[in-house]
Structure 1
């Protein structure tokens, strides 16, 4: 593929930054400070990286005005308030874009489906009855889209994705390989020692600007819909069970699992490996640290953790023994001991004050 060339001035305009140096300098890519060459742009995201930047071969640096004063004026700069955000914006400029449009001959599309002329449908993709694919949407090879599924504009559906359960996908949604949207939720009624399957009659509603990684499952609702609001981002290997609602701009990292009928608020963060039980509510602006287990409602914004921090094996074994010993002592007995110790401390403090 032909490399893309951009002037420093043009790139500065893209990120609404100030261009310092030679505005007509040509750049062909972004790179880390360590790997950058003279044709690359790198970003400096804090004063602790200045020494590394001084050693870099990058042809231009994205910096704040404060950081720029620490460098030689002979270099090329793009001055912005947030170098990391500017870098994120420029990744879209240098991205290798899928420009092909149309429907591959091996794709199977039901006559009732409505496919935009500006969309791309890859090899061996199957699209069912009454489906809709919006403008500029790219659907790669071996994707299966069941009946009644609707996909908005400018979406990207990667290879081997399954969209079913009459799911409704908003605009600018990215879904990566081997993910299943709208699969059957895990619903069973126990009776006389057997599990009786509950047919899942709901759907999945995904808002705009949502990103879902590879090997994820977002189950359709049992009766009501499973909902991912605008701006939700989900990492790889995440399970979202039936009837879950995830608020706008919430981020869920890899290997998280959210059980059924739980509501997660807006602007939340679930770090890697978090487990959330079903039928609870988490308010907006909550952060759950890695490997935590959420078992109750969270009604106040903030950062929450559970589990045991990393210890050496010998320390961990001693800690487990102490926890077991603690569990064997009745809570009332512990409370009385603590109250008695508090009284003794207060008595000693009074005696010392009198002596002074």
Structure 2
């Protein structure tokens, strides 16, 4: 598979600078790309690599156009453009339809003729598997589950009964959708389990990483809206709602009944305490603990207490000099006491 720069620009937009007939066969990095490969520059820290690159062409923003003599495509968002070009040269595998020998499909399950079920997978009664779905080896699809068309379950995914995905969902190995939420009531010295009777609703174009768990709702559904991207090893508690096109990095956790707005990002290892809400377009830095609701868009950083990022950065800078400041205050107090001795 090969495309000229002109053909790539015709598909995705952008302005070609230099030879438009340069042939591209694959993507690569600025440091290692060679003949037939296209690289990109999105971070100014790598401008030295741009000057030295041997890539056949480069995807760049307008402010970097004069930094290379290589043919290039100039665009507004080089990283997003690169992602689309990479998809062009590396399309997803297409499922070969059919239920493979060794798969366990219950009577009453509906498998579209264009879907694929691998050996060792289990599909329970009442499940509906849409066209183009691909259920990997060892995966489990519970009773009454609905998988939207084109969805992909990699090997060893578990989708509990009554959960639903939209179209083109991607669930990576070890993901668990619809496990019981952490619902327990205190009764003296004992805990009483609260039945978790809600489900999980997943929108279109959602990707859920390896070993991530999305708990089912206690009464109503846990909801993951369209376009959400969840990294590996994330915990989404019961009755959470994650707004459309938000992204959460690995090892983050949302306690029960958290509401995350649209287009938010939550960094690796961050924690959001239960029953809090985060407004649209808020960004939580890695390892931050959110202990109160966020109502204003912006970037938030810190442990206890967290704050808007600018205030947190300023206060953190002061903390680094806390011992020095304490010594200065002590010296000033001593000087003042010497100038103004106590009256007898």
TM-score by length of 1: 0.81
Where does 1:252-291 land on structure 2 (aligned, <5 Å)?
A: 252-291=248-287
SS of 2:67 mapped into structure 1: coil
Where does 1:171-320 land on structure 2 (aligned, <5 Å)?
A: 171-307=167-303
Q: What is the alpha-carbon distance in structure 2 between the residues aligned to residue 129 and residue 114 of structure 1? A: 8
Q: CA 1:163–1:319 in 2, change beyond 3 Å: closer, same or farther?
A: farther
Which position in structure 2 is the counterpart of 1:91?
86
Q: What is the alpha-carbon distance in structure 2 between the residues aligned to residue 286 and residue 78 of structure 1? A: 32
Q: Which structure 1 residue ranges, 5 or more long, are not aligned?
A: 324-340, 342-356
Q: CA 1:159–1:98 in 2, change beyond 3 Å: closer, same or farther?
A: same
SS of 2:64 mapped into structure 1: helix
- Asked if residue 164 in structure 1 is aligned to residue 160 in structure 2, the reply is yes
Kept in 1: contact 2:234–2:253 (CA 8 A): yes
| Residues 278-287 or 206-215, more deviating | 278-287
> CA-atom RMSD, angstroms?
2.5
* Displacement of 1:170: 0.6
User: In structure 2, which of residues 130, 149, 155 is the aligned counterpart of residue 153 of structure 1?
Assistant: 149
SS of 1:68 mapped into structure 2: helix
Kept in 1: contact 2:50–2:68 (CA 8 A): no
SS of 1:69 mapped into structure 2: helix
Q: What is the alpha-carbon distance in structure 2 between the residues aligned to residue 96 and residue 122 of structure 1? A: 21
Which position in structure 1 is the counterpart of 2:342?
none
* Displacement of 1:53: 1.7
| Residues 214-223 or 282-291, more deviating | 282-291
Q: Report how many aligned residue pairs link the two structures.
A: 313
Q: What is the alpha-carbon distance in structure 1 between the residues aligned to residue 138 and residue 91 of structure 2? A: 21
Where does 1:62-141 land on structure 2 (aligned, <5 Å)?
A: 62-72=59-69, 75-102=70-97, 103-141=99-137
| Residues 224-233 or 75-84, more deviating | 75-84
- Asked if residue 58 in structure 1 is aligned to residue 89 in structure 2, the reply is no
User: In structure 2, which of residues 9, 13, 17 is the aligned counterpart of residue 16 of structure 1?
Assistant: 13
SS of 2:287 mapped into structure 1: coil
Q: Which structure 2 residue ranges, 5 or more long, are not aligned?
A: 305-311, 327-332, 334-344
